[in-house]
């Protein structure tokens, strides 16, 4: 299982990230200060570090040196959103930089992107009665392959990686199709309905009133 260290001193944010990473199938360890984060990095194996810059004890820039020495990918999470801070973080070797506040959906997408870059993303995902092979982009249900289009497969991955999170239609559209969502468009609804029918997931993939859809 992919193991992620969250170095974030604001406990509510740390807990929110931990809960959603766990729901997405990751193992997650949290540190509320820089010294604890450094100890964890030196004594345990991590596949990725989510690193706040303004940490008590040892700051994020200093911790970045620890991570580089251990060859651990890093995503900076910080309220310091100026171009200067972003450039500094990236020049130090950070793989991505996400300013606060951020949407959990975006965080999960960036985590997945960095893990793929290092060939650490999980190839097989199992949920309910299906197995998803992300490498071959195939889905097997009860021993039989389910024929999905490219967009239906991307849509399925988005829901699986954001289980129990209500996703707005514009969020779904932006992540699967790209570009700006038009309120009169029925693209999202039609694809969700087709996906539900193909997987027989009427009880799992549900509509959320005035929002969009949720996989539960």
Q: Which 3 state secondary structure label does DSSP give 55?
A: coil
Last residue of a domain, one of 69, 102, 117: 117
Question: Based on the domain organization, do 65 and 166 belong to the same domain?
Answer: no
Per the structure, the count of domains in the chain is 2
The 10 Å Cβ neighbour count of residue 184 is 5
Question: Based on the domain organization, do 113 and 128 belong to the same domain?
Answer: no
Average pLDDT over residues 162-170: 88
CATH code, 132: 1.10.10.10
First CA to last CA distance, the chain: 22
The pLDDT assigned to 174 comes to: 87
The pLDDT assigned to 54 comes to: 87
Tell me the C-alpha distance between 195 and 173, whole Å.
15
The pLDDT assigned to 65 comes to: 86
The pLDDT assigned to 89 comes to: 67
Question: Based on the domain organization, do 111 and 23 belong to the same domain?
Answer: yes
CATH code, 28: 3.40.50.2300
Domain housing 209: 124-215
Last residue of a domain, one of 117, 133, 155: 117
Last residue of a domain, one of 117, 137, 165: 117
The 10 Å Cβ neighbour count of residue 164 is 11
Average pLDDT over residues 25-34: 91
Question: Based on the domain organization, do 18 and 75 belong to the same domain?
Answer: yes
Q: Is the pTM of this model over 0.75?
A: no
List the strands of the sheet with 27-31, edge to edge: 27-31, 3-7, 48-52, 74-78, 96-99
Question: Based on the domain organization, do 106 and 130 belong to the same domain?
Answer: no
pLDDT in tens, 119-129: 877 778 888 98
Question: Based on the domain organization, do 40 and 103 belong to the same domain?
Answer: yes
pLDDT in tens, 68-121: 888 899 999 887 666 676 677 677 778 898 888 888 888 988 998 898 888 877
Question: Based on the domain organization, do 97 and 26 belong to the same domain?
Answer: yes
Single out the residue of 107, 79, 158, 133 nearest to residue 4, CA to CA.
107
């Amino acid at each position: 299982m992919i193991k992620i260290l969250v170095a974030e001193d604001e406990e509510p944010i740390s807990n929110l990230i931990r809960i959603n990473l766990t729901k997405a199938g990751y193992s997650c360890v949290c540190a509320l200060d820089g010294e604890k984060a450094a100890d964890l990095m030196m004594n345990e194996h991590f596949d990725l570090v989510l690193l706040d810059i303004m940490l008590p004890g040892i700051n994020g820039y200093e911790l970045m040196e620890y991570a580089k020495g251990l060859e651990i990918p890093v995503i900076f999470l910080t309220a310091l959103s100026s171009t200067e801070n972003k450039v500094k973080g990236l020049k130090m070797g950070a793989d991505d930089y996400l300013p606060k506040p951020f949407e959990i959906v975006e965080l999960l997408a960036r985590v997945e992107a960095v893990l793929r870059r290092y060939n650490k993303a999980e190839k097989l995902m199992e949920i309910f009665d299906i197995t998803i092979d992300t490498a071959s982009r195939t889905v097997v249900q009860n021993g039989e392959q389910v024929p999905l289009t490219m967009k239906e497969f991307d849509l399925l991955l988005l829901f699986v990686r954001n289980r129990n999170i209500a996703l707005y239609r514009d969020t779904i559209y932006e992540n699967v199709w790209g570009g700006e969502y038009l309120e009169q468009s029925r693209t999202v609804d039609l694809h969700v309905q087709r996906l539900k029918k193909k997987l027989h997931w009427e009880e799992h993939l549900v509509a959320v009133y005035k929002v969009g859809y949720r996989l539960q």
